[in-house]
Amino acid sequence: MNLIIDVGNSFVKLAVFNGNTMEHKEVVKLDLILERIRAIRHEFSAIKRAIVSSVGRLNEADVEIIGAYFDLLILNSNLKLPYKSLYKTPKTLGVDRIALVSASVNQFPNNNVLIIDAGTCITYDFITAENHYLGGAIAPGLRMRYKALHNFTANLPLLDTTLPNNIVGNSTETSIHSGVVYGVLKEIDGVIEDYKLKYSDLTVILTGGDSNFLSKQLKSSIFATSNFLLEGLNFILQFNSNE
């Protein structure tokens, strides 16, 4: 069994996989990570291996403790990966993007795949049917756009994410919702259409924290999945295993 540890800026996703089947998942605050890992270790005594993907701040002392519990793999660009990367700055490529591309290789082999991760940022990652990772794009996510309008203007309020009823906003609040939400939807649909014009038989994956909110509104045909990154991390761990 494998333990997957995905460390964000404030929260950590923990998942337990038995082969390719996820048997447990939870989200915890960063300061509770060791407490929860000890509890998971007690509940799932068959866990032998673990992988850490960190875009947040996991200190070295915590890493050492986790490494004492399991055969630990730290995700970085130097690992053996299940695809050929043509990205020109591999050391600056986010570990979350590495995991997402790996998941696509595992679940959609020999396909042109566009992975869209709608979280704090919206990332676009493309891998060809020949298993070549070309790169993609990084754009502000929904919450970042709401916050930018509030933080960089004198009078605009900070609003909760809301699907507008009409593209024409008839108040400041509805105008903000229209600009942010429809802006993101039109952006994503437009990017997908541009990729379809260049690459035939395109498979599109939508994942990330805002995927459920966005998926029902997009015109394009997509696969929406919330656990794609965790599945990718599990595959990387398997791929680097000697077993």
The answer to whether 16 is a known ligand-binding residue is no
From CA 29, how far away is CA 177, in angstroms rounded?
A: 29
The answer to whether 120 is a known ligand-binding residue is yes
Exactly one of 62, 96, 125, 210 is catalytic; name it: 96
Give the pLDDT score at 168: 97
The answer to whether 62 is a known ligand-binding residue is no
Give the pLDDT score at 221: 77
User: Cα 85 from chain centroid?
Assistant: 18
Query: CB–CB of 12/55 below 8 Å?
Result: no
The CATH number fitting domain 2-74, selected from 3.90.76.10, 3.30.230.10, 3.40.50.2300, 3.30.420.40: 3.30.420.40
The answer to whether 6 is a known ligand-binding residue is yes
User: Residue 9: which residues within 8 A CB-CB, separation 6 or more?
Assistant: 55, 56, 57, 120
Q: What is this structure's pTM?
A: 0.91
From CA 155, how far away is CA 27, in angstroms rounded?
A: 35
The answer to whether 41 is a known ligand-binding residue is no
Cα–Cα–Cα angle for 44, 50, 54, rounded to 5 degrees: 125
Tokens of 85: 């990367």
Query: CB–CB of 206/224 below 8 Å?
Result: yes
Query: CB–CB of 10/55 below 8 Å?
Result: no
The CATH number fitting domain 84-233, selected from 3.40.710.10, 3.40.50.2020, 3.30.420.40, 3.40.50.2000: 3.30.420.40
The answer to whether 101 is a known ligand-binding residue is no
Same fold, 2-74 and 84-233: yes
What does the pLDDT profile of the chain (243 residues) look like in tens digits?
Answer: 999 999 987 789 999 999 999 999 999 998 899 999 999 999 999 999 999 998 767 888 989 999 999 999 999 888 999 999 999 999 999 999 999 999 999 999 999 999 999 998 999 999 999 999 999 999 999 999 999 999 999 999 999 999 999 999 999 999 999 999 999 999 999 999 999 999 989 999 999 989 999 998 998 878 888 899 999 999 999 999 865
The answer to whether 87 is a known ligand-binding residue is yes
Is 154 buried (19+), middle (13-18) or exposed (0-12) by CB count in 10 A? exposed
Q: Which amino acid is present at 129?
A: A
Helices (H) and strands (E) in the chain, counts: 8, 11
Give the pLDDT score at 85: 95
**96 has catalytic annotation:** yes
The answer to whether 9 is a known ligand-binding residue is yes
Query: CB–CB of 191/202 below 8 Å?
Result: no
Packing angle between helix 183-198 and helix 142-151, nearest 10 degrees? 130
The answer to whether 8 is a known ligand-binding residue is yes
- The sign of the dihedral angle between the CA atoms of 71, 77, 79, 80 is positive
Tokens of 214: 């966005």
Q: Where are the domains of the chain?
A: 2-74, 84-233
